[in-house]
């Protein structure tokens, strides 16, 4: 069905999915996961109009790219050539620039009752990135889980780091400071004042970043988390009142845990900590940090990744 029309005249479609106790809505604008209902409770933050997504969204439910997270100074060097990107986060380029994949209309290339595949083509030089990149995401509902499968191919060497920016609230309302998280991650990436990793991963043991045993989001650090963790396994989030649990597994090496502290209830419809993000991904600023896992993709290669969010009570 048609969700709305952009000022350019492009139409934005909405696809409804269902399987078991899960229902989801996906938009072709930004490949946005607009809603995800578990037994009738919507567990992601979404907006009701296209105008709100154009003016009031903090990446709600969108696929961000070409490069999710931050690149320091909005520049990187690949094969001896420097590439400059838009600065849209202080001195950094964030989530692919000011017209990244979250701002593009994706093509719905395949849809069934329980899955949809969306594709976007980013031309050479788009937001400063080299090579024509073709990316896709498939959302699949599997009774009690939603699986996200990503692919990316290029005709010239480039960097890519795709992720989904859904904000989860397992209670369907209120804030997430009481949500309890357990994360199989013994290291995280310390950051500087611009939220760029300073270098080597640091142990979480003995710090407020330690979720190897369960802790509530607001128990320490005032819920101010916006950090990348080095994953050794999965993640478990529980809403203690209703008892809904979300288990996250991924092929990616890291996850950006953001507790929604910059939501203000004014520029966006949601207030602070209305939802939390678990953005599975490669590490921030990897193109400038050779010790991190590489995000380079070259012609003839297909970059793939998969993340599953499973719900139990």
Q: Which residues are catalytic?
A: 165, 279
Cβ neighbourhood burial of 88 (10 Å; 0-12, 13-18, 19+): middle
In the Cβ-directed half-sphere of 114, how many Cα atoms lie within 13 Å?
Answer: 12
Smallest CA-to-CA distance from 163 within 307, 13, 36, 291 is with 307
The radius of gyration computed from the CA coordinates of the chain, to the nearest angstrom, equals 18
Secondary structure (3-state) at 296:
strand
The token pair that represents 306 in the structure block: 């998969």
Smallest CA-to-CA distance from 158 within 295, 290, 283 is with 295
Q: What are phi and psi of 103, to 5 degrees?
A: -110, 10
In this structure, are residues 66 and 127 in contact, taking their beta carbons and an 8 Å threshold? yes
Cis before 66 (ω within 30) = yes
In this structure, are residues 161 and 69 in contact, taking their beta carbons and an 8 Å threshold? yes
């Amino acid at each position: 069905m048609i969700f709305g029309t952009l000022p350019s005249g492009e139409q934005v479609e909405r696809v409804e999915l269902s399987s078991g106790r899960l229902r989801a809505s996906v938009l072709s604008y930004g490949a946005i996961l607009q809603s995800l209902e578990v037994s009738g409770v919507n567990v992601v933050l979404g907006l009701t109009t296209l105008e709100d997504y154009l003016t009031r969204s903090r990446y709600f439910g969108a696929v961000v790219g070409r490069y999710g997270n931050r690149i320091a100074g909005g520049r990187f060097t690949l094969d001896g050539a420097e590439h400059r990107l838009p600065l849209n986060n202080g001195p950094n380029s964030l989530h692919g620039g000011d017209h990244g994949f979250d701002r593009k209309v994706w093509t719905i290339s395949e849809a069934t009752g329980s899955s949809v595949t969306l594709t976007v083509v980013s031309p050479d030089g788009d937001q400063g990135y080299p090579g024509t990149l073709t990316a896709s995401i498939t959302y699949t509902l599997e009774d009690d889980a939603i699986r996200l499968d990503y692919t990316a191919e290029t005709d010239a060497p480039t960097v890519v780091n795709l992720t989904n920016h859904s904000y989860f609230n397992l209670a369907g309302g209120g804030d997430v400071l009481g949500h309890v998280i357990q994360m199989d991650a013994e290291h995280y990436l310390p950051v500087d004042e611009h939220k760029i990793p300073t270098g080597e991963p640091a142990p979480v043991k003995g710090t407020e970043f330690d979720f190897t045993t369960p802790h509530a989001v607001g128990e320490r650090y005032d819920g101010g988390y916006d950090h990348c963790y080095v994953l050794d396994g999965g993640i478990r989030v529980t809403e203690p009142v209703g008892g809904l649990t979300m288990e996250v597994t991924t092929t990616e090496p890291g996850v950006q845990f953001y507790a929604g502290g910059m939501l203000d209830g004014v520029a966006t419809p949601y207030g602070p900590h209305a939802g939390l993000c678990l953005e599975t991904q490669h590490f921030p600023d990897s193109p400038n940090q050779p010790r991190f896992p590489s995000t380079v993709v070259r012609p003839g290669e297909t970059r793939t990744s998969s993340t599953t969010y499973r719900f139990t009570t």
